[in-house]
Chains A and B, each alone.
Chain A
Amino acid sequence: MKTTKACGSLLAGCLLVLALARVNAAENWVAYSASPTGSKVKIDGTSTLHAWTMESQLVSGKMEFEPGFKLDPSLKPGKVNARAQISMPVRQFKSTKDAMDQVMQQAMKEPQFPKIEYRLTELVLKEAPKMPEGPYPFDSKGELVIAGVTNKIAMPITLLRVSPTRVKVSGSTDLKMTDYGVTPPAPKLALGALKTGDDIKITFDWVANQRADAAKAP
């Protein structure tokens, strides 16, 4: 009886130590939070009439690197333990036409899925940067969630050290709207219908500061 009790206490103690270790490890991760200014995400598409563009500068989220991480030339090519969660309100993507914005929001089922989200799952430094501040070329893997549909995507990205505490993450990827359950909009116009193409390109610059309280957690 006594032994069982002692074993139980020991187990509880071990679990507590492990839990504390985890908390401690999380605290030691190098965290960057989105800057409220300086970011930009652009969506380029085509249509039967003309090319179109929508842009948002509201990109929140955070990116964390393993303890001891430094974005400097000491970083060796290879896998880097990192994680990120990025989020963008769909309705902040603007063309210059309010009607087109409304159409796109409906196509992306905005009321139900108000955010585009991205989760980074893997990051590999391809080669050493040419300059100490970068850009540092990485291959990334992650999950992109649009209109409630999650797809795995891989894309090359770069990290640029804008200042000792500020980084800019840049990249671009090609997507198909239909892969995310989004029907390419074909709004009726006065002179007939305009049909948008399925292929779109997303280009982004995400700026983040090494400061824990710069943004709310996504």
Chain B
Amino acid sequence: MKKNDGHQDLNRREFLSGSSLSTLMMLMGGVAIQAQDKPKEEETGATNYQTTGAPVKCGLIGCGAWGREIIKTLAVLPNAPVVAVCDTFAIGRDRAQKSAPNAAAHEDYRKVLDDKEVQAVIVATPSHLHREMVVAALQAGKHVYCEAPLAANHEDARAIAQAVQSAIKVHFQAGLQMRSDPQYLFRLQFIRSGALGKTVKARAQWQKKQSWRTYSAKEMNWRLQRATSPGLIGEIGVHQVDAAIAYINALPVAVTGFGGILRWTDDGRDVPDTVQSVLEFPGGVRLSYEATLASSFDADYEIYYGTDSTIMIRDNKAWMFKEVDAPLLGWEVYAQKDSFYKETGIALILDATKSTKAAAATGPDAAYMESPLRHALAAFVANCNSHAAAVKDFSDNFDISDTAALKEYLDTSINKVKTPHAGLREGYQATVAALKANEAILKGQKIVLQKEWFDLA
């Protein structure tokens, strides 16, 4: 989820509590052996189908820590061969190539776009470089997965949005990977069904003691300077801002912020290492956001407070804390519960029965073993296939130069049924909200957000 947080943290306590043979094997990359508990195929009449779509040949542009996480994830997908990797930084490029030994390695991203074999590109370069690469990739007819935030400033984000809207023959996806995660989609449906009662406020934080600095190359330190960096809320917070937009189901109307350099005062950076921001939503609902590179305490989470219940989300898990006067839902009596000091959280897990069964067989975190990034990239590949097939079939049957008709077909038919993902709208709106919040933090002022800033047209 976090761009600079490529490593999956292992919780020592969870490791020890679940240190069965199967857990150990799983952590070592092994496959847990389990007893056959299902009837055989011929008994059920079940038929085997290949549900994996055609391979989509990918090119990765940007081989930093997050880019390498992407290529590792693509490597485990059955239909996402990486045929080209690109970075100006040789060490990153070489490391990425270890996950795709047969991929061509380039220093110039235009070589990736010139490669006819490449059908789709994943742009995971520093945010301030996205615009040029994404626009060129779309013009070259490649499907594009652009990491979030889409850009480091509003003008670049708008240019990307315009390019995406012109490139109707290809699929575009924003790197807000949570939007593809089944657990997130389950929570979204749950919250939208009114489980919170009236939403009154929200809180989100991301805290990690780290410098954000790397000594390996000057251009790698783009996050530390205002000229190139969208700051903590732009780089990291964009995911949580996007979640708030989705859960509250509205766009923010104003942002306020404060920030300062409180820990990393000696390396010449001008980007705050500690920020606080309030995003105001319609109806007086406010999201209070905090992030720091000076403390790791309590890591990262989001909390949505309602009159009937409060929902806390952390590590892609969620719990509901009910008020005593909240209506009884019924199912919560049987649900898994966890204690948090004096509170009891009711676990919100998609397909809880199945997850419990999987957890019994493979470990306590079985329900979450497929990362949001894996879901997002699998969705990207499926959506590239679906989009390309639609354009080809339209072209075979109608006049492809009739772009209005093609656009109508794609919008009313294909785009509505794509595998869940963050599209241009979600990516653009979360980017604009996060960038404006960063601007408010740098200025220490309130910024009233104009509705048209979020409009795509």
Interface residues of A (CB under 8 A from B): 34, 36-37, 55-58, 60, 87, 89, 91-92, 94-96, 98-99, 102-103, 106-107, 183, 185-188, 190-193, 195, 214-216
Contact = CB atoms under 8 A, between A and B. Distances in A.
B44 interface: yes
Interface stretch (B70-78, B153-161, B310-318, B387-395): B387-395
Interface centre among B49, B52, B354, B405 (most CB of A within 10 A): B49
B399 A36 contact: yes
Given A89-B393, A89-B397, A216-B397, A57 B409 contact: yes
Nearest to A61: B397
A91 B413 contact: no
Given A92-B390, A98-B419, A216-B398, A193 B412 contact: no
A116 B109 CA distance: 42
Nearest to B353: A191
A89 B419 CA distance: 20
B269 to A, nearest CB: 44
Contact of A99 (B51, B386, B389, B413): B51
B49 A102 contact: yes
Contacts of B396: 89, 216
A196 B390 CA distance: 26
A56 B46 CA distance: 27
Contact of A185 (B44, B47, B406): B47
A188 B46 contact: yes
B408 interface: yes
A36 B44 contact: no
Contact of B397 (A55, A187, A191, A215): A215
Given A36-B397, A37-B405, A191-B354, 8 more contacts: A36-B399, A37-B412, A60-B398, A87-B397, A92-B390, A98-B419, A102-B50, A190-B354
A58 B413 contact: yes
Contacts of A36: 394, 397-399, 402, 405-406, 408-409
Contacts of B47: 183, 185-188
B167 interface: no
Chain A contact residues, majority secondary structure: mixed
A98 B382 contact: yes
Given A58-B413, A60-B397, A94-B414, A106 B38 contact: no
B423 interface: no
Chain B contact residues, majority secondary structure: helix
A-B CB proximity, top 6 nearest: A60-B397, A193-B46, A36-B405, A36-B398, A99-B51, A193-B44
B354 to A, nearest CB: 6
B52 A102 contact: yes
Interface in B42-69: 44-53
A87 B394 CA distance: 12
A157 to B, nearest CB: 21
A106 B54 CA distance: 13
Contacts of A91: 389, 393
B412 A57 contact: yes
A60 B52 CA distance: 28
B298 interface: no
Contacts of A188: 41, 44, 46-48
Interface residues of B, number: 33
Interface centre among B41, B47, B406, B412 (most CB of A within 10 A): B47
A25 to B, nearest CB: 27
A198 B402 CA distance: 39
Contacts of B408: 36-37
A87 B393 CA distance: 11
B245 to A, nearest CB: 23
B406 A187 contact: no
29 contacts: A34-B397, A34-B398, A36-B394, A36-B397, A37-B405, A37-B408, A37-B409, A37-B412, A57-B412, A57-B413, A58-B393, A87-B397, A89-B393, A92-B389, A95-B417, A98-B51, A98-B419, A102-B52, A102-B53, A103-B49, A106-B49, A183-B47, A186-B46, A186-B47, A192-B38, A193-B46, A195-B45, A215-B397, A216-B397
A91 B385 CA distance: 11
A165 to B, nearest CB: 16
Contacts of B417: 94-96
Nearest to A96: B417
Nearest to B413: A57
Contacts of A107: 49
Contacts of A37: 405, 408-409, 412
Contacts of B38: 192
Contacts of B390: 58, 92
A125 to B, nearest CB: 29
A107 B47 CA distance: 10
Nearest to B406: A36
Interface centre among A57, A58, A98, A103 (most CB of B within 10 A): A98
B376 to A, nearest CB: 14
Contacts of B382: 98
A49 to B, nearest CB: 13
Contacts of A92: 389-390, 393, 413
A190 B356 CA distance: 13
B70 to A, nearest CB: 21
Contacts of B405: 36-37
A56 B396 CA distance: 15
Contacts of B406: 36
Contacts of B412: 37, 57
